[in-house]
Chain A
Amino acid sequence: MSEVKQERKPEEFTNRDYQAGFITDIDTDTLPPGLNEDVIRHISAKKDEPEWLLNWRLEAFRHWQTMTEPHWPNVTYTPTDYQSISYYSAPKSQADGPKSLDEVDPKLLETYAKLGIPLREQEFLAGVAVDAVFDSVSVATTFKGKLKDVGVIFCPISEAVRDYPELVQQYLGTVVPTGDNFFAALNSAVFTDGSFVFIPKGVRCPMELSTYFRINALNTGQFERTLIIAEEGSYVSYLEGCTAPQRDENQLHAAVVELVALDDAQIKYSTVQNWYPGDENGLGGIYNFVTKRADCRGARSKVSWTQVETGSAITWKYPSCVLRGDDSVGEFYSVALTKMRQQADTGTKMIHIGKNTRSTIVSKGIAAGFGNQSYRGLVRIAKSAEGARNYTQCDSLLIGDKCGAHTFPYVEVKNPSATMEHEATTSKIGEDQLFYCQSRGISEEDAVNMIVNGFCKDVFNELPMEFAVEANRLMEVSLEGAVG
C-alpha cells in the first residue's frame, strides 16, 4: 500500500556547494612559512612602517611567545602549527600597495565581481563604499574621495599608518591591548591589512562603509586589523563580509577589531561571515578566531554589533562592549548557523561601568547536520554602574537530531540597582511547522528556509537593508539541499 514518506529528512537540507569556493590564479609575493622577529620586521618594512609600530609589533610578539593557546571554548580542532603558515601574501600586481581603481589587476576585479562586489566605478553598489582586502593587502577602496569631502577617512589601515600616523598611534591597541589574549597578541605582531575608519565630530557618514575580506592563497593566515573611531556626535554604519576558497587544509583567520565611540557617537557594525566551512566530513575550512571589542568611551554613545555567522569550520568570537560612558548603550544581535561539522562558540561580553548603561543581547543559534554551537555571554555590572540594565534573549533551533546547541550565560552583578532579564529557548524545527507549510503548498525545502529565516528575523531586521537580503540568501544557500 502506498504510504507517502518524506523522502528527505531536514538534516539533509544542510549541504550545498559553497559558492565562493573558487581560487583566483594570481602571482603572489608570499613569505615562506614561519614566524620569528625577522618575519615581523619584514612585514613592517614591506609596509614602510614607522619605528614605533615595529616596536609595538615586536613587543606583542614577545608577549605572545610567553602565552599558551586557550582551550576553554566548546570546540575541538587540530591545533595550528604556527611555524607552518605564511604570514604575508599579496598579489604581485599590488606589490606597491593600494592603487587607484584603474590600476587594480583585472583578475582581482573579476574575483570580487564573481563574489557580487563590484569595484569598477560604474558598477558600484549605490550608497556603499567598499574596501577590498585580498589575503594580506587591501586592493581597492571605493568612494574614498567622496567621503573625504565630508571629513570621513575610510582607507586600508596600512595607508592610515602612513597618512594619519598620530590618529592610529592614539587609538591602536587602546581597546584590545596587545596582550589581551593569545590571538590578539598574535594579530598585533603580524597584522597585515584591514580597514581604518575615522568619523569626525558631528558627522553622519553619508554612506554605508564595508570591507570585504577574501582569503585566497594557500597556507596563509589572514590577520586583519580594523580600527573605527567615531568622534563626538558622529554616526557610521559599517559592514564586513568574508569568503575563502574551498581547500582541504584549515586556514587561520585571527582578526582584531577595535571600535571607539566618543560622546553621543553611534557605531553600527554588521558582519556577514561566510568563510569556507569545510566539507561535510569536516575536512578543511577556516578557523575564525576573532577579537572584537567596542569601547563606548563617551556619554550616551552607542554601539550595535550585528553578526550573521554562516561560514568557517570553527568560529570563536565574542564581539563585546565596554560601556564606560554614562548612559551608553551596547547591543549584540547574532545569528549563527552551524551545519555539517561546523562548530561555533560565540556570544558577547557587556561590561557595564558607567551609570544607567544599557545592553541588549539577542542571539539566535541554528544547528543542523552534525553542527555544534554554544552561546557564551558575559554580563558584568561593575559597582559604579548605578541603574544598569541588561536584556538577554538566546534562542536555539535544532534541525535534525545529530546537532547540538548549548548556552553558557555568565552574570556578575556588583551593583544591586541593576535590572537583568534573561530569556532562553531551545526548539526543534517542528514536523508540525513543516507540515503546516506544506499543506499550504510550500515545498519542504522552502518551508525549512522560511522557518529558519523567520527564526532569525529579529536579527536580520537590524542589518542594513542592502545586506538583509544577502543574509537571507546566505541562510538559504546553507540550508538548501540538492533537489533530487
Chain B
Amino acid sequence: MIKIENLHVSVAGKTILKGINLEIGEGEVHAIMGPNGSGKSTLSNVIAGRDGYEVTQGSITYKGRDLLAMAPEERAWEGVFLAFQYPVEIPGVNNTYLLKAGVNAARRHRGEQELDAMDFMQLVREKAKLVELDQSFLSRGVNEGFSGGEKKRNEIFQMAVLEPSLALLDETDSGLDIDALRIVAKGVNTLRAANRSIIMITHYQRLLDYIQPDVVHVLADGKILKTGDKNLALELEERGYDWVREEAAA
C-alpha cells in the first residue's frame, strides 16, 4: 500500500525526521508509538500533504505512485485519510456539506456519478451510527463547539464516510474517556478490511487493547528505532522508551 524510504523532513529549518523506512501492506494495521515530540504527527502530516514540511531526502510510494508529487486533495481522492490529532473548527461550514463536497470530488475524480443529497444523507446517517454520533452533529458547523471527544469521534465518522485505503489515526485515543474509547475502537475495528491499511499513532498502549495491531513501531529521535508485534507495545508500557534508544545506539 505505502512504502516510505529514507524519509528526511525538516520543519522551519529544523530536521525532524531523519531517515524513516516503513512499509505497510494491504489490510495491515500498524501502530506507531513514541515519546512526545518525536515526529509522529510530522510523519502523518507529510503523508497527508500538509504545506510547510520540507522533504529533504527520501521518497514515499503509495499504490505504486509518487505520493509526494500529489496535492493533498488528490491524495484524499486516492484514498489517503488523516484523522487529525487536533481537528480544527470551521465555523458556519456544515459538517455534512463538507463531507459531501469531499465524497463527490473523489467520485468525480474516479469518473463516478456524484451522490445526490438524498443518497448522501442516507449514507451519512448509517455511518454516524457506527461511532454513535448523534444526528444533531451532522448539521452543525465542522467541529464547531464539539468537545475533545466529540471531535475525535467525528474524525472516525468522516473516515467511515470517505472509506479510505490508507487511514492515519493521529492520537485518536487521546482525550477520550474509556466509554468513548470503546466506541471509537469499535468503529475502527468495523472499518478494518482486507483492502484498507491503517496507521495508528498513539503513545498509550491502552488503545491497542481494543484495536489489535499487526505490527508495532517505535518512533523516536526522528527514526524508527524498533519494530515488533503487539507485545512490543506492552513492553514499552512497562519500560518506557529509553531502553529502545539505548539498544538502538548500541
> B92 near A442 (CB under 8 angstroms)?
no
- Give the interface segment out of A307-315, A400-408, A429-437: A429-437
Given contacts A3-B54, A450-B98, whether A437 and B90 have CB atoms under 8 Å apart is: yes
Q: B205: shortest Cβ distance to chain A, in Å? A: 27
Q: Mark B54-80, 1 if CB is under 8 A from A, else 0.
A: 111111000000101111110111001
Find out whether the CB atom of A442 lies under 8 angstroms from the CB atom of B88.
Answer: no
The smallest beta-carbon distance between A78 and chain B, in angstroms, is 37
The one of B59, B102, B141 that contacts A441, using a Cβ cutoff of 8 Å: B102
Interface members, chain A 205-245 (any B CB < 8 Å): none
**Is the CB–CB distance between B51 and A6 below 8 Å?**
yes
Question: Which B residues are CB-close (under 8 A) to A453?
Answer: 92-93
Q: Within 8 Å CB of B106, what residues of A?
A: 441
Give 1 or 0 for each of B29-59: 1 = CB within 8 Å of chain A CB: 0000000000000000000111111111111
Query: Which of A442, A443, A451: most chain B CB closer than 10 A?
Result: A442
Chain A residues with CB below 8 A from B121, complex form: none
Q: In the bound complex, do residue B90 and residue A433 qualify as a contact, i.e. CB atoms below 8 Å apart?
A: yes
In chain A between 387 and 440, which residues have their CB closer than 8 angstroms to a CB of chain B? 430-433, 435-440
Kindly state whether residue B84 has any CB partner on chain A within 8 Å: yes
| A262 vs B107: C-alpha distance when bound (angstroms) | 55
Binds B, one of A128-136, A141-149, A167-175, A454-462: A454-462
| Docked-complex contact A438 and B98, CB < 8 angstroms | no
Kindly identify which residue among B71, B93, B141 contacts A438, using a CB–CB cutoff of 8 Å. Answer: B71
Q: Contact between A442 and B51 (Cβ–Cβ < 8 Å)?
A: no
Bound together, the chains give a CA A459 to CA B250 distance in angstroms of 64
- Is B91 on the interface with A (CB-CB < 8 A)? yes
B148 cross-chain contacts in A, Cβ below 8 A: none
Q: B90 to A435, Cβ gap below 8 A?
A: no
Task: List the A side residues contacting B91 at CB < 8 Å.
Answer: 454-455, 457
In the bound assembly, the distance between CA atoms of A150 and B97 in angstroms comes to: 41
Nearest to B76 among chain A residues (CB) is A441
User: Is the C-beta of B99 less than 8 angstroms from some C-beta in chain A?
Assistant: yes
* B170-228 contacts to A (CB < 8 Å): none
**A345: CB under 8 A from chain B?**
no
Asked if A1 is an interface residue, CB under 8 A from chain B, the answer is yes
In whole Å, how far is B204's beta carbon from the nearest beta carbon of chain A? 24
Q: Which residues of B contact A280 (CB under 8 A)?
A: none
Residue from A2, A443, A446, A457 within 8 A of B55 (CB atoms): A2
Q: Does B145 contact A (CB under 8 A)?
A: no
Contact A436 B49 (CB under 8 A): no
B73 and A438 form a contact (CB under 8 A): yes
Q: Please report the number of residue pairs spanning A and B whose Cβ atoms sit closer than 8 angstroms.
A: 108
B residues less than 8 Å from A456 (CB atoms): 92
In the bound complex, CA of A440 to CA of B90 (Å) = 13
Shortest distance in angstroms between A449's beta carbon and chain B's nearest beta carbon?
10
CB pair B68 A4 closer than 8 Å: yes
Q: Are A433 and B77 in contact (CB under 8 A)?
A: no
Evaluate whether A442 and B93 lie within 8 angstroms (CB atoms) in the complex, with A6-B51, A436-B87 already known.
no
The reply to whether B162 and A436 contact each other, CB–CB distance below 8 Å, is no
Q: With A4-B68, A450-B93, A454-B141 in contact, do A442 and B49 touch (Cβ < 8 Å)?
A: no
Interfacial chain B residues near A327, Cβ < 8 Å: none
Q: Which residues of A contact B105 (CB under 8 A)?
A: 441-443, 446
Contact present for B102 and A440 (CB under 8 Å):
yes
Q: A441-B73, A442-B73, A456-B92 are in contact. Are A436 and B101 (CB under 8 A)?
A: no
Chain A to chain B: the 3 pairs with minimum beta-carbon distance, closest first: A454-B92, A454-B93, A457-B92
Would you give 8 A-B contacts (Cβ < 8 Å), ordered by A?
A2-B55, A3-B55, A439-B48, A440-B102, A443-B71, A444-B71, A446-B101, A450-B93
> Which residues of A pack against B, CB within 8 Å?
1-6, 430-433, 435-444, 446, 450-451, 453-458
Q: List B residues at the A interface (Cβ < 8 Å).
A: 48-59, 66, 68-73, 75-77, 80-82, 84, 87-88, 90-94, 97-99, 101-103, 105-106, 109, 141-142, 158, 162
Given contact pairs A435-B72, A436-B84, A455-B91, a sample of 19 additional A-B residue pairs in the complex whose CB atoms are under 8 Å apart: A1-B56, A3-B53, A3-B54, A4-B72, A435-B48, A437-B102, A438-B73, A439-B49, A443-B73, A443-B105, A446-B105, A450-B90, A450-B93, A450-B101, A451-B90, A451-B93, A454-B91, A454-B92, A454-B94
